[in-house]
Amino acid sequence: MRDCSRLSRRAVLGLTAAALPVSMATPAAAASTVIGGERLAHGGVQVSGATGLPKKLTARAWLVADYDSGEVLASFNAHRRLAPASTLKMLFADTVLKKFDRNERYTVTDADLADIPAGSSLVGIKPGITYTVEQLWQGVFLRSGNDAVHVLAHMNGGIGKTVAEMQAKADDLQALDTHVVSPDGFDHPGQLSSAYDLTLFARHGLKDADFRGYCGTRTANFPAGGKKTFQIQNTDRLLTGAWGLKTYDGLFGVKNGYTSHAGNTFTGAATRGGRTLLVTVMHPAEGSNAVYEQTAALLDWGFSHGRSAQAVGVLVRPASEGGAAASPAPARKKTQAASGASGSASKGPSTGRLVEGAGGTAVLLAAATALVVKRRRRAAAAAAEDQGTAVQGDEGETEPGGRRRRRR
């Protein structure tokens, strides 16, 4: 019955939206779906019953939620669709993690590494070396290694199959802002998520002991061939303390992300006094440490002022676990912009995914894709590095002082 109702909702919304340009759609013909409550559909800061929010928040979207209850304590543009960078690896783990025993061994081939995008963050996997599944996941979580992601995706039946399963998982989690193009989070036209969705991915993943263990691991020894190993360190600076940051008391994960085109994104989880909070911060105006500093500031607020906050929304349960289906929300005249990998704005709805109907919907999707590609190329030309490629992962960020830290 749940599947039928979901299909019906999406079909009706898609067919209605196809008949009108997005900018001219009436509230009754809105092509967006609000998950988590009506207040989360609105732009701007949403908070009730509490004061003292940090003043220097430059992120384009952020959200603070209670892990146990799922209550959203405060948010800013919760459903704004932005490039997720490597935080999308949380959804990859939600989808693939339980498919392989952690002690299973796999010998990597050239084909497993052939389709990794240039400029990717890498842990250093080599063809011909045998790795355990546990080591591959350490490469994913600690070093945000796209090479580790691609090996696991090929073990799972290939990139295409894995992307389809990730999209299905996002749909089940009711992460309707998320559109998956690749399993690694690298910049691709149309690959989008939101602060709300990333928080859903983190909350779901942290219920699994292996997920929780991997994202909280600070260092690990990684195979280098033969009996040799080298040490890898988690790039979550609030977890390990790096680049002038102190470790955040009580923080135990979950995932950071960066590309030179999309900027910084981070979802963190911390426990203090028996209470666990989740915070997602997307695309601060500043580079380097800002995403971690603003996450820490929001966690501080949640553990202090946030205790008196009244919920402005809720992290919904997965549809497969009986989570209530979303209800359509009226489209605002000036919706928050959906952003592509470049972080530039477009004119799509921000409060939910543009659902696909039949007939004229394909025209809208084609136009939206063309717009994203055009803006992505424009941003790439402006932000291109020496060799014109995007750089992903903490290894490519700008260090304090303006020096460029290159990926190994």
Q: Which tens digit of pLDDT belongs to each residue from 236-274?
A: 999 999 889 999 999 999 999 999 888 999 999 999 999
Tell me, what's the pLDDT at 394? 56
Supply the pLDDT for residue 58: 97
Cα 49 to Cα 46, 109, 169: the distances in Å are 11, 56, 34
Is there a contact between 271 and 94 (Cβ–Cβ < 8 Å)? Answer: no
Tell me, yes or no, if 86 is annotated catalytic.
yes
80 pLDDT higher than 50: yes
Among 34-38, 196-200, 396-400, the range of highest mean pLDDT? 196-200
- pTM for the full predicted model: 0.78
Tokens matching residue 345: 């704005």
Residue 147's pLDDT is 98
pLDDT > 80? residue 340 = no
User: Looking at the predicted structure, is the pLDDT value of residue 9 above 90?
Assistant: no
Q: Please determine, for residue 146, whether its predicted confidence score (pLDDT) is greater than 80.
A: yes
Q: Catalytic: which of 32, 75, 89, 182?
A: 89
- The single residue of 32, 75, 86, 121 carrying the catalytic annotation is 86
Band (287; pLDDT cuts 50, 70, 90)? confident
Residue 227: the pLDDT is: 92
69 noted as active-site residue: no
- Find the mean pLDDT for residues 61-80: 98
What region, left, alpha or beta, does residue 33 occupy, with left being phi > 0 and alpha being psi -120 to 50 degrees? beta
Total count of residues recorded for the chain: 408
Q: Which of 32, 75, 120, 144 is catalytic?
A: 144
Told to judge if 89 belongs to the known catalytic residues of this protein, a careful annotator would answer yes
Task: With beta carbons less than 8 A apart as the criterion, state whether 231 and 220 touch.
Answer: yes
- Cα–Cα distance for residue pair 377/358, rounded to 1 Å: 29
Report pLDDT for 321: 92
pLDDT tens readout for residues 205-239: 999 999 999 999 999 999 999 999 999 999 999 99
